[in-house]
Structure 1
């Protein structure tokens, strides 16, 4: 199981700051910091592999695995910090893999998830998200590098193996998503209004040069052997 370590400490510190009033809206920027290193990118890919394995390797998640068989793409956010009291937000980096026409999964592209919410939130809460992209439109919009869930794409939560909105998995949405906290299922979460932006500078660090999302996910012009375990795992859980 993925262990929340360094970011868990950051989440706790954030919770204290929010309670004491020393935090500001700047803690939840609309875009991620771009000073990522190659080591950060490698760490994110490794964390994504552990998170994906843990999120899909349970009997109660049979629906997730069933959806993966028809998925066009998969996004894994292994650590998303959610906080606050009153005005809250969440943010974290993750990866996107796209299934090609030949059924082979791509190497990962890098993205950031962020949102601002109003209402009572649990300060410093850390979550992980699995987003299953079911349509070509979802893949195209996410690859554009700037998309908002709800406004640009439809999404529905999968909780305990059931489509929250309909009670079934019939009728494809653009995105199905599942969220968990360190302690288990994160029920009631909504990604409505969440923004997803590309992290091109992190991708450049990981692949050793400037690349676009299309270069990575569609054209398959770059590779990194460190991502092979992640690709193999996604392939095995999607029925290939």
Structure 2
């Protein structure tokens, strides 16, 4: 079975309380550690990779991002989905070609630009072009930024999600959505729903998010930031 088929299958028939949990490696060694820990797939965080490469979130050059994704994909045998932000201005065909060349089986694509929501219908048309170029070779996770850069209206998020699913998105990611609206989002969105979880003990656990309707759970750059804090603590101890 192809890796992309394995990745798609991981999203199917998830039981309540048992979401697909995808850690976010930022380089080859963190990817290998996650694989050795038993995770069935990975989801790279653009913010985590940006930090590792010395860039601000959202400012990583496309060539550097794809090179980092390629190193991660090449370091493990399990499927890897890549957060490629808004697609770096690439035409859908080139974006797909570069993702596949890097070894990714999926991607996150956001519906905002520099903190401003894109026109939802225009974005849906662009997603449809990505889907056409990718065929069945990529799992497309469509980010919905209503809660981050819009008015936070769950109904508006559901409307945008419907357009993206109709355009061929395999999963919808209402990033920043309050846990309280997850059941409403779950009832209104067709197909898998990705939710964000924190690693600091604040907020619900992946299991709790699954019980509320999440199909899969990701952590953004949380793992990378936790490791950076632990490194700082270790470095401080060296000076005592």
Shorter-normalised TM range: under 0.3
**Structure holding more helix per residue:** 2
Greater RCO structure (CA 8 Å; 6+ sep): 1
TM-score (norm: length of structure 2): 0.28
